[in-house]
Amino acid sequence: GQAVKGVANISSLQVVRRANSPFQDDPFFQYFFGDQDMYGARDRRSMSLGSGVIISPDGYIVTNNHVVGENVREITVAFSDNREVKGRVIGTDPATDIALLKVDLAGLPAVQWGDSSKLQVGEWVLAIGSPFQLSRTVTAGIISATGRSNVGFSEYEDFIQTDAAINPGNSGGALVNTRGELVGINTGIFSQSGGYQGIGFAVPSTLVQHVVNDLRQF
């Protein structure tokens, strides 16, 4: 249960312009209304990006670099207890598709690190995600390969391959072993059909720890 609680939803708050009014460029209306939007044309909308994993009680959260994206300014992190807070990006490592976020909270349910180097092919794992604020998803599968390279979406060449369903909603979420320990961060997707069936990849936890330590220092 701890591992499920330790997965958060990552969303971004974006300002979306609603449909413009037909009078927007009319000088007569501009004279009366100035530049303010008559119809309140600005709309703040939260867009779910994916999942993240709480790795320390004081608010460090790991997710995928591609979940955070290039220029997301404001990230919202939603926890299993319904709390929603702003998060900031501490650093990103595109080569491994890992990003480190920080929220200002204490006492969070961190997921325990596991040793991904001890994973065996055929071992059961769970992919845990939080695609939306109040939902958690858990899919089971087995490790189908370790040390996979040439997967095409990252420079890094040592992925865990699993048949547990990994999709945009649980990307950035936790891959855990049967003891509930974090053995990987669910990441890029590959399938011949373009769907999400079949093969999922995860960045091994030993590498994630290494990247996280670097990002925290520098």
Which residues are tagged catalytic?
66, 97, 171
Q: What is the 3-state secondary structure (H, E, C) of the chain?
A: CHHHHCEEEEEEEEEEECCCCCCCCCHHHHHHHCCCCCCCCEEEEEEEEEEEEECCCCCEEEEEHHHHCCCCCCEEEECCCCCEEEEEEEEEECCCCEEEEECCCCCCCCCCECCHHHCCCCCEEEEEEEEECCEEEEEEEEEEEEEECCCCCCCCCCEEEECCCCCCCCCCCEEECCCCCEEEEEEEEECCCCCCCCEEEEEEHHHHHHHHHHHHHC
